[in-house]
Chains A and B, each alone.
Chain A
Amino acid sequence: MTRTISFNLNGEQVAAEIKPHHNLVEVLQREFNLMGARESCGQGMCGCCTVLVNGAAVSGCLYLAAFVDGAEVRTVESLADARTQALSPVQEAFIEAGAFQCGYCTPGFLLMATQLLDAHPDPDEEQIRHYLSGNLCRCAAYPEIIAAVKLAARKRQNARPS
C-alpha cells in the first residue's frame, strides 16, 4: 500500500514512495539522507524534528509524510547557501555564541530562530523565550541560545542593504 508523493524539498522538486503511516522525519532520512531533523520524544514535545512545511514549523515525527504531497519543505540542510556553503547568520551566531553542546536539538532551534527573525527582525528577550519555548535542549544551552538569536538579529540587520 504505497503511494508516490512529490514535493519541493529545499528548493528542488522531488518524489518519494511512501506508506500512509510514514512520518516526515523517516522519509527525509531514508529517502533523502537528510539527518538534520531527528526523532527524539516521538510526541511533538521537544522540537528536535522541526521541519518547515509551506513556511510553517511542524513536528516532523508526528507529521505524516503523505501531507507534504505538493508542499514546500525546508530542513536545516537548506539554511547554508546551496552554492557557496556559507552559513546563514543564524548558524554563524549559534557557533559564535556557543549556543549548543551535544547539537542534537540544534537544527530545530535554528529553524525556529530563523522563522522568528523572519517574522520579528528585532525580537526582545521575552519574544525569544516565548517563541522558542516549544524546543527543548537537555544540555540547557538556553542562555547561549538567547544570546545567539540576538546576535543573529544584528547580523541580519547589518547584512541588509540600506
Chain B
Amino acid sequence: MATSSTQGGQVGAPMSAKVGGAKVGGAKVGSQIGRSLPRLEGRDKVTGRAEYTHTMRLAGMLYAKIFRSTVAHGRIKSIDTSAAKRVPGVYRIITADDIAQVIPAPYYGPAFHDQPILAVDKVHFVGEPVAVALAADPHVAEEAAQLIVAEYEELPAVFDEVEAAANNTLVHEELKPAGTFADLKHLKGRKGTNIALDFKLRRGDVDKAFAAAAHVFEHTFHTQKVLHLALEPFASIADWNERGVTIYSGSQGPSFVRTEIARLLGWPENRVRIKVPYLGGGFGAKLYIKMEALATALSMIVRRPVKVALTMEEQFYTITRHPSTFVIKTGVDASGRITARKCEVYWNGGAYADVGPRVTQKSGFTASGPYDIDNVWVDSYALYTNLPPSGALRGFGIPQLVWAYESHTDMIARALKLDPLEFRRKNLLREGRPQATGQIVRDAKLDAVLERVAERLNWGKPLARGNGALRRGRGIAVAIKAVISPTTSVANLTIAADGSTTLYCGTVDMGQGSDTAMAQIAGEVLDIPAESVRIVPRDTDVTPYDMGTLGSRSLFHMGHAVRLAAEEAREKIKAMARELGEPEGSNIPLPDLFKKKFGMQAGNIVGTGTYKPDYIPPDPATGLTDKVTPFWMCAASGAEVEVDTETGHVRITRLITAVDCGRPVNPKIVETQISGAVLMQLGFTMFEKMHIDAGQVTNASLADYKIPAILDVPQAMENETVDSHLSSGPFGAKGVGETATFCVSPAIANAIEDACGVRLTALPLTPEAVFRALRAQANNPLADDA
C-alpha cells in the first residue's frame, strides 16, 4: 500500500481511527519520509497539460506590451504616443499619468517603496518600463509599443557598486524604506546617499588581532551580473472589478503579492486573490512584486482582464543577481590559526532595492565563512546604481561571498605553504562553538561535508599533473549559510467523511518538488500514502499565509506547519473516536467513524498548523545575536580541472559536492536539487555574464547569453548528502534548494591555480580570463592588459 501508484494524489486512501498505528491505513510508520516518490504532478508535466501563467488566457483579455527606457538615468521630457495610438486595433496607450489616476502612490517593493509601476518623472535604468500599449492582439500591442517615442534629459549615472558608495552620483533623491524592516527605519527620508542598507557585525577586536598576527592577507574579489533566466518568462494576468481583483501570476510569494497589492489599492487583503499555476522556474526571480502591480493597474484602467507576459529579452531588465565587490582581510597566527577577518562587501543592487537590503544583511551574518574566528568585522553595503535591479538568486548572496572567502582562504594556505584542506580543518567551525553572530552552532555537518569531498578527491594522494600544455589541478571549498529568519508558514489540512485528505499550503512548487515533500510529511503523520494526499493549487482565497518560497526555507518552515496541521487533525480523529465510545486503539475505518458521528457521509476534520521559529534581532551596533537562524546549511565542493595553457580553456574533469540537508524527505528529489544547483552555479562560474555598456545590456537574449546545456554537464559529477538529522527539523529535515550552489565557483578557481598557478579573482572563469592571467604570469601580458 505504501507504494501504491495512485496518480495525482486525488484518490483518498481510507484511514482508520488508529492513525499512527503500525497496521492501519496500509502504510507502516516511517514509510513516507525517506521515500523516493516520483513527483505527484509528473503526469501533468509529461503530457503538456501543466498550466503556466505565460500560456493562460481569459475571455476578453487585453495584452500589454511595454515601452522601455533607453537611457540609464534621465528626466522624462516628453512621451509621444500619437503614432502608437494610430495603429489599427490598438486599444489604449498607458503612461504613469494614467496609473496615477487609479493608484495615486504607485510605488512598491519589499524593503523600500521605491519602484514605480511605470517610470514617474525620471527613469533610473535602461529597460525601465515607461509606457504600455494595450490591444486584444499581442502583435498589435507590440507594434504600437515600438512606435512610442520618449525624450529624456540625461543625468549622470553610476554603474559600479564601489563608485556608488562614494555618493558622488545619486540614483534616488530620497530613500523610502517600506517600514517592514526595523533595521531600515533609520533610512527614512535620508538624502544624499546610494546606500540602502549598511549591515555591521563586530566581534572581538580585529585591529588588535591584525597587529598581533604573524601574517595578514588582503584580497579583493568581484562577481558579475547574471540572470535567473527562468524558461517561463515573467507573466501576470489581472482581472479587476470594484469588488475585488484576481491575479494569476507565476509568483513564488503569493501572500506577499496579496499584501502589497492590497496596500497599493488601499483595500483589505480579502479583496485581493492571487492564484498561482505551475511556475516554469523561479530561482528567486519571481518573488515580491514583478508584473502583478502593472497588470492590476492596467486592468483597473480598462476594466478588462490584462495580461503582462514578458519576452526572454525583457527578463534581463527585470531582476538579476547582485554583482559584488568583496574586500577581505585575514590575520593568521604562527600556528596557522585564523585570528581575525575583516569583510567589506559592496552589493550592486541596481536602480530599485527589491530584496537587496535583506541579501546584504542576511548574507552578512556569515560573510566571514565557516570558520571559528575570534575577531570578525563585517561591513555589508546595499547600493543603488543605474542598472537593472538585483534580488535573490539561489543563495541570497551566499554564492558571491563564498566565491571570495574560499578563494581567499586558499590563497592564504598557498602563501603559507599549508595544505589547503589542513588549513581549513584547523580553522573550521565545530559543533558547539559560536558562529560570528554569537549563535552556537548545532546540527551543522561542516566537517562531514568537507571530509567527504576530500575523500572522494583522494586528497592525500598525489594527482597526475598532466603534461605539455595540459595542466591538471584540484581545489576544494566549504561554506555555511544561516537560513533567513524569522519567517512564518501556515498550513491547513482537511479530512473528508470518506477519509480522504486535502492539504492547503502556500509553498509554490516551482519544480523543487515541494508538493511531493509536503504530501510525504502529511502522509507520515497520518500514516497514509503520500500519493493519496491532495495538494490544493496555490490560491490566497483558500491557501493560508506563507512568507514565500525562497531561501531554502519551505521544507523546514512549511514542513513544520504541515506536520502540525496533520497532528492536529490526527488528535481530532482520536477525540472523535473517544467521544463515540470507541475503545483506545480502535481500528474502526474513518468513513465508519464519520457515519457514526453524523449519520451519513458528512462532516470534516480540520487541522491547522502555524510555524515561526525563535529569532532575536541582531544588535544594531554589533550585529550579534544568539538566535540568528533556525538551522545552518552546509556544503563543500571539490573540482578537478585540466587547463589548456595555450588557449586558457578549462575542462572540468570531476565536480564533487556534498551537502548537509538534514534527513532527506525524498532522496531522489534532493539528488536533482543538488545536481541542478551545481549545474546552475557552474554556468555562473564558467561563462554566464550580462555584458553592460553604459547601462545597456548588450547580450539580452538566449542567443548571446548562454546557459548550461547538456554538453556542459561534467563527465564526472558526483553529489551526495551526508548523514545528518536536524533535531529541530520536521522529521530531521533542512532545506536544500540553494545549498549546492555555494562552493562551485571557488572550488574551480582553486583547482585552476593548482593546475597552472594563476589566480582569478573575478567571475566568470572564461578561457579569455585564464589566458590573460597566464600571459600576465609569464610576464608577457596582452597589450590591453599591459
Contacts and interface: CB of A to CB of B under 8 A. Distances in A.
Interface of A: 19, 21, 29-30, 34-43, 45-46, 48, 75-77, 79-80, 87, 91, 94-96, 98, 100-107, 110, 128-130, 132-146
8 contacts: A35-B48, A39-B54, A41-B701, A43-B702, A103-B280, A104-B52, A107-B48, A139-B672
Given A76-B48, A94-B46, A139-B511, A35 B711 contact: no
B54 A38 contact: yes
Given A21-B139, A107-B48, A143-B717, A129 B711 contact: yes
A30 B47 CA distance: 18
A147 to B, nearest CB: 11
B779 interface: no
Contact of A142 (B232, B311, B710): B710
Contacts of A40: 231-233, 280, 312, 702
B180 interface: no
B573 interface: no
A141 to B, nearest CB: 6
B595 interface: no
B669 interface: yes
Given A76-B46, A76-B48, A138-B707, 10 more contacts: A45-B703, A79-B47, A87-B46, A98-B38, A98-B668, A102-B510, A104-B231, A104-B232, A138-B281, A141-B676
B232 A36 contact: no
The winner among B46, B232, B672 for most chain A CB atoms within 10 A is B46
Contact of A38 (B46, B280, B710): B280
A29 B702 contact: no
Contact of A138 (B38, B47, B283): B283
Given A36-B47, A129-B710, A133-B711, A46 B231 contact: yes
Contacts of B230: 102, 104, 138
A102 B512 CA distance: 7
A138 B680 contact: yes
Contacts of B676: 101, 139-141
B50 interface: yes
Given A38-B52, A91-B46, A103 B278 contact: yes
B54 A103 contact: no
A37 B47 CA distance: 11
Nearest to A87: B46
Contacts of B513: 101
Give me the 3 closest cross-chain CB pairs, A-B, nearest first.
A36-B48, A104-B280, A101-B511
Contacts of A75: 48
Nearest to A45: B702
A48 B55 CA distance: 12
A141 B711 contact: no
B675 interface: yes
A9 B701 CA distance: 31
A41 B702 contact: yes
Interface in B262-280: 278-280
Nearest to B683: A140
Contacts of A105: 231
Contacts of A110: 46
A91 B47 contact: yes
Contacts of A76: 46-48
Given A35-B49, A38-B52, A146-B710, A140 B675 contact: yes
A94 to B, nearest CB: 5
A77 B48 contact: yes
B42 interface: yes
Nearest to B675: A143
Given A76-B48, A77-B47, A91-B46, A102 B279 contact: yes
B708 interface: yes
A103 B283 contact: no
Contact of B512 (A101, A106, A130, A132): A101
B578 interface: no
Given A101-B511, A105-B231, A140-B675, A133 B709 contact: yes
B229 interface: yes
B153 interface: no
The winner among B41, B57, B679, B709 for most chain A CB atoms within 10 A is B709
Given A136-B231, A140-B676, A140-B680, A106 B45 contact: yes
Interface in B680-704: 680, 701-703
Contacts of A144: 672, 675
B549 to A, nearest CB: 12
Given A98-B672, A140-B680, A42 B311 contact: yes
B43 A35 contact: no
B47 A87 contact: yes
A138 B43 contact: no
Contacts of A43: 312, 701-703
A35 B49 CA distance: 7
A43 B777 CA distance: 41
A140 B679 contact: yes
A106 B282 CA distance: 16
A144 B717 CA distance: 12
Nearest to B279: A102
A143 B718 CA distance: 11
Nearest to B673: A101
B734 interface: no
Contacts of B233: 40
A11 B711 CA distance: 34
Contacts of A130: 711
A146 B671 CA distance: 15
A138 B711 contact: no
A101 B672 contact: yes
A100 B45 contact: yes
Contacts of B42: 94-95, 100
A19 B143 CA distance: 15
